[in-house]
Amino acid sequence: MTHDDLNKLIEKYLSGRASPEEERFIDEFFRRRESRQALPHYKVSEDMWTEIQKSISNRPMFGMSRTSSPAMPRRKIVVGIAAALLLVVLSLATVYYIHSATTDAEIAWVTHECPNGQKSLITLADGSRIFLNSASSVSYPETFESGKREIMLTGEAYFEIAHDENRPLTVRSGELLTTVLGTSFNVEAFEGQPARITVATGKVRVEVQGDADSTNRVIITPNQQAVYQSGGKPEVKTVSAEKFAGWKDQILYFDDNTLEEAVAKIERWYNVSIRFERDTLKHCRINGQYKQVDLRSVLESISYMYDIDYKFSDRNQIVLYGNGCN
């Protein structure tokens, strides 16, 4: 029943033109209210009844003043109050129903965490796939809502997103928001390091969350990368997407990285802790590609390229020392 229908019913009731069924409807409502019973079709809490009473306590009935028509039959006055009460209740019940439906329909979120030394593959409800790197976590709803798909990422992941033009997918990673319809791309967003979004196929939009300045949004396409330093704006450069997504195929790439950056990757990859004996070693730059090799092979390669040696101070504790690239 719409509000217009209800208003017409009230007018008919007060004028004596209501059918027996319509009269019983309003009479039953008021009878239930007086006996503190809930209407079967309207879930109305006691707090709502209190608000309703406040709303009608000083309200004239349908254009009448509070002192007018003293000869009006008592039943008609009571019926007027009941009808007004019903109108308010229906309005509040509608809001309450919408709120309850929203609460009941809340969708649970799932979180996957991948520790150092491990990687995982996650398949979402829409068929999209997430390759999660070491020391990373991803959260997403069990079922995507209509109109949107949303994922939250800490660390690094490679996404293969199922195309859905009616439900764009957004990845929230630190301060950045990445939006796609259907594509494959890599997001690297480790704390304390620049964030990098690299596209393998398709097209994505990268922007700073909460930044309304459209000039700070960038669109990137295959083999382009958006690099973001906290407090700045995304900068676009051309890269080899394969190198930045190779980790999902067990390929460890170093592409003109500082040794400090390379060590951070090695620590996550092999679940070890590496310490520099001298800070100057951190600034050496390294290039290389390692596919499914063990830790000692990587360390030996670094030692060969530079005047750097290593030692295990404990099972998972490594120290790098030597003259380095100087």
pTM, entire model:
0.64
Q: What is the pLDDT of residues 203-215, one digit of tens each?
A: 999 999 887 777 7
Alpha-carbon separation of residue 238 from 43, 151, 235 (angstroms): 59, 26, 10
Residue 249 bridge partners (DSSP): none
Per-residue tokens: 208 = 């700073």
Q: For residue 305, what pLDDT band results from cuts at 50, 70 and 90? A: confident
Determine the Cα–Cα distance for residues 325 and 118; give it in Å rounded to an integer: 31
Rounded to an integer, the average pLDDT of 79-97 is 48
The CATH T-level fold of domain 109-244 is Jelly Rolls (2.60.120)
Q: What is the pLDDT of residues 115-151, one digit of tens each?
A: 999 999 999 988 999 999 999 999 999 888 878 899 9
Tell me what the mean pLDDT of segment 13-22 comes to.
69
* pLDDT value, residue 160: 96
301: tokens are 């390669």
Does residue 298 register a pLDDT over 80? yes
Give, in order, the Cα–Cα distances in Å from 10 to each of 96, 195, 219, 295.
23, 63, 58, 82
C-alpha span between 275 and 85 (Å, rounded)? 74
Domain boundaries, the chain: 3-104, 109-244, 250-324
Give the residue-averaged pLDDT of 219-235.
Answer: 94
Cα–Cα dist 312/276, whole Å: 12
Measure Cα distances from 265 to 101, 135, 258 in Å. Answer: 46, 10, 11
Give me the residues paired with residue 227 across strands. 196, 235
Non-local CB neighbours of 273 within 8 Å, separated by 6+ positions = 267, 316, 317, 318
CB 54 within 8 A of CB 92: no
Q: Give the pLDDT score at 10.
A: 63
Q: How far apart are CA 146 and CA 125, in angstroms?
A: 13
Confidence of residue 51 (pLDDT cuts 50, 70, 90): very low
- Which CATH number applies to 250-324: 3.30.70.2860, 3.10.20.740, 3.55.50.30, 3.40.50.800? 3.55.50.30
Across the chain, which distance is largest between two alpha carbons, in Å? Answer: 108
Average pLDDT over residues 41-66: 43
Scored b (16 or more CB within 10 A) or e, 137-173 reads ebebbeebeeeebbbebbbbbbbbbeebeebbbebbb
